Chain A
Amino acid sequence: MAEIKLRKVMRCPVCFARENDVTLLKDGDEYYCIRCSYHGTADHIAGMYMDLRKKYRWIQHRVTLEELRIL
């Protein structure tokens, strides 16, 4: 999967895994969550986001109208 750039406002990847949007706060080089105990660097968070995307196994898969008919 391609590398991606992120903005500096982050959502907690652990809360996101529960489909909850919680904005992280910053403490030095780390971000931390006030809803759960997650904390991590921007790189760690980016890695967690990419892990979360693994559930979407067709995230890079185009399904056209013709393919929908037989899907």
Chain B
Amino acid sequence: MHLNLIHRVFPGNEYPLILLQQRYAHELGLKVTLMVQIDAMQDPAIVADVKNFHEQYGDEIGLSLSLGYDSPEFREKIGGPSEFLWLYNNEEKRFIIQLGVDYFRRTFGHDPQSVASYHLDSTCQKILHEICPSVKIAVAGCFEEGVKVFHGCNNSWYLFNEGMPWGPWYPAKTHTLRPAENEADWTGIIGVPHLSRDLSLSYEGRNDFFASHPANAQRGLANIGYDHPYDYNLCDLYRFQEEFNHGFSYYNVFVSAGWLAGHPTIQDPNEVSQKLYRDLLEYLAKLQKQGNLTDMYMSEFADWYRQNWPIATPEVYLAKEVLYGSKKHYFWYLDPTMRVLVDTNQGGSIGDLRPYIGKTPVATGSDQKDLMVGSYPYLIQSIYRTGAAHHFIDGARTTLLVTHKDETLDLCTCKTRVSNVKRDETGTQLILTPAKMSFSDGLEISVETEYLFTGGGAIQITRRLLNVSDPSATLTAQEYLKGCYGVTEYPQDMRGITLSVDGDQPQRLEYAYGRRKLCSDHAQTVTAVIPQITSSMALEAITPAQSGYVLEGLLFSPYYTLVLDYNLSLGKETSTWLKLNSAK
């Protein structure tokens, strides 16, 4: 596993805690990248310390740009209460980035190669690359930071940054949370996330409770005083991903010093916070000495990544939940055309789907249409948008509905787990453990689901009927997809979406919340075109389907539904493409 350990350098009362973080890292022989703010570069004592850290220990000196611009130049040109970099207008972004680079050059005598910000939108990356082409790498996003953290701070944390990769990536020019499809599509700066997040619990809950940041776990009450195995469990979970990604995995620790003492969301005494931070670094140092971890400076990692990880390489993450002890598995797949989450606990339903292939352009800032919302839009987000039915009708999700006589069972009520992951030239194959379903007349069946992620915006979904207690029973199955689009938990305007079905009675409708259902015999393709996010989504039968339909929603259930109907018989399989595309 590769590690970047990052410390932010800023002036003020917490400076002694930065020195404490540095002492821990140096005592343990870990490589540190220091992210120095503009305000810190005006303090000669801090600058002397930073230069000394570089000379004595080799620490890389980078530029922190998310906050801390206070300087005579900033006060004269912009002033006012401080805003995060990515929220200023274009002219102000350019001024601040230029100011940071100028201060850096004057202070350290060279240009920075590494930069940090919590989010670094497309306008910021373009300006940064122009002004300072030496920048190779940037902390440029926080995995799934958005709605849940907003709520968790009593609706006050306006950082909407969902739908991004969980590890290093090549940010795309039109939306920096989307991985670039090729060199021309890339901003020229490698992105790394701010912290390595728990890919089960950051989906279900707050990413700032469950991350490579011991104080985050303390914030989530996931330690008991000095007892904090979760911090090591999460680290090992990232190491585990090497087994599915050609031996590669990445972890970073970027804890601001304020978390080590007096933070209002931490109820443990300061000595506990400091010990837990030290413990995590000790564990990382131990892994390094064992040869199980390679710590690098950020620019050093950028060179390694560029040489070893080609643009557009698909990645997966098998998330095993390790704090509640639920034994749940989630499976994540990522390539330049999509990010998708398979929720095996719901029979293998898709719980989150981001159609990168649509290349929805997004930038943040006071002069941008998206303002503070930098997330990549979803087509399915089961936690925000209802998912399986609890009170009323279901919402965004996929499933298989199996019918016997007049009873229909929903695969999402069956717990499954990841049975096998195989990756080769044809793509990434994911096989789940069989789902066992029991009908009220005593009929019992088991169904196996296979996903094949082939790239190009396509997922092949195969269902196999492995067992039936009565082989003469007649069974039908519906491949079922309910979608929407959005960036938060609130519904967006669905008008303008078109739904269509082919087959014997081909039909099409424009979404008007009219509750219409269009059915067609021998339909092989059911499609939704969502111009709002320049994307389309379709189910296409590979095994011939009997029929299909599209269903428009209503204001109390603002979704669209795509369905293909199949016969299900023992020993045979039904196969369907889920295809994403760009659309206007």
Contacts and interface: CB of A to CB of B under 8 A. Distances in A.
Interface stretch (B12-20, B146-154, B531-539, B551-559): B146-154
Interface string B207-245: 001000000000101111101011011001101100100
Contact of B322 (A9, A11, A52, A63): A63
Interface of B: 148, 151-154, 205-206, 209, 219, 221-225, 227, 229-230, 232-233, 236-237, 239-240, 243, 262, 264-270, 272, 320, 322-325, 327
A60 interface: yes
Interface string A1-33: 110111101110001100111110000000000
B233 A59 contact: no
Contacts of A22: 154
Contacts of B206: 19
Interface in A44-71: 49, 52-53, 55-65, 68-69, 71
A19 B221 CA distance: 11
The 4 closest A-B pairs by CB, nearest first: A58-B325, A4-B225, A62-B229, A57-B325
Contact of B324 (A2, A20, A56, A62): A56
Contacts of A55: 324
Contacts of A60: 224, 227, 229
Given A20-B152, A69-B240, A58 B270 contact: no
Nearest to A58: B325
A68 B265 CA distance: 30
B154 A9 contact: no
22 contacts: A1-B224, A5-B268, A5-B272, A7-B262, A7-B267, A7-B269, A9-B264, A15-B154, A19-B152, A19-B209, A20-B152, A56-B221, A56-B325, A57-B325, A58-B325, A59-B223, A59-B224, A60-B229, A61-B233, A61-B325, A65-B239, A71-B320
A65 B286 CA distance: 14
A20 to B, nearest CB: 6
Given A6-B267, A6-B268, 4 more contacts: A16-B221, A56-B222, A56-B323, A62-B229
A53 B233 contact: no
Nearest to A69: B240
Interface residues of A toward B: which range?
Answer: 20 to 34
A49 B322 contact: no
Contacts of A23: 264
Nearest to A68: B240
A66 B305 CA distance: 27
A54 to B, nearest CB: 10
B146 to A, nearest CB: 13
A64 B236 contact: yes
A68 B418 CA distance: 13
Given A7-B267, A53-B224, A69-B240, A19 B323 contact: no
A68 B268 contact: no
Contacts of B237: 63, 68
B101 to A, nearest CB: 35
B258 to A, nearest CB: 13
A68 B233 CA distance: 9
Nearest to B237: A68
B322 A20 contact: no
Given A60-B227, A61-B229, A68-B237, A21 B265 contact: yes
Contacts of A10: 267
